[in-house]
Structure 1
């Protein structure tokens, strides 16, 4: 299942922007409403994994994680407002994993959320993800 968004760059939340909190709150509200509208009537598989594909209007290098605020507001609209999932905790929602795709529409950010269920387990053999691969222990 896929959910697509084309968002004017003026409505995008970027962690590097230093905006007044009223401006950011208005953008968040707009993005949540967009997320809700796009997911009304949809029920996502539970649990589900989300891969977020970002398409930017130009070829400039960007730190993709700076756009997580935009993605969070969309997912909050989908999950909390449209009720496509019971909750956005890790019990119900895995990810989102962020990717970049080639897309160029002047003045707009394109985001495609791919919702899937296959091929995921919370952690291998009940271990804490990430700690073992770093050689760290979960015991004191």
Structure 2
């Protein structure tokens, strides 16, 4: 995913894009997540089988960043994973926590890398 003048693919809480641009980016992210989510054959997480998410953000440069500022991007991805059936819903009873971490450099010029790890919570 990138944030270039050609195609903005990330949403940052500090940005103030026009609502149509934000809607386009959100739809794009959600479609990506649906496709990725459909690759996994797993029993969906539910209220009785809750999980937590660890979100790692890898940046294209060494510039300082604040990983939680990318929550709008992650929300669109989580909604797409919901559409794909990874969990029954993305409410607090199913996804009990979400943490953000900095993951270093993405390794690809101009591109961010987002890794979402799902951790099953024992004894829901």
Shorter-chain TM band: 0.7 to 0.9
Moved over 2 A (4+): 41-46, 118-121
Instruction: Flag the 1:65–1:12 CA change in 2: closer, same or farther, 3 A.
Output: same
What per-residue deviation string (whole Å, max 9, x for no partner) do you get for residues 23-47 of structure 1? 0000000000011110015334431
The match for 1:34 is 32
TM-score, normalization by structure 2 = 0.83
Structure 2, gaps ≥5 residues long: none
Q: Is 1:74–2:72 an aligned residue pair?
A: no
Count of residues paired in the alignment:
114
Q: Is 1:54–2:79 an aligned residue pair?
A: no
Q: Which moved more, 1:88-97 or 1:35-44?
A: 35-44
Distance 1:96 1:120 in 2: 18
Is the Cα–Cα contact under 8 Å of residues 50 and 121 in structure 2 kept in the other structure? no
Structure 1, gaps ≥5 residues long: 1-6, 122-140
Over aligned residues, Cα RMSD in angstroms? 1.8
The structure number with the bigger radius of gyration is 1
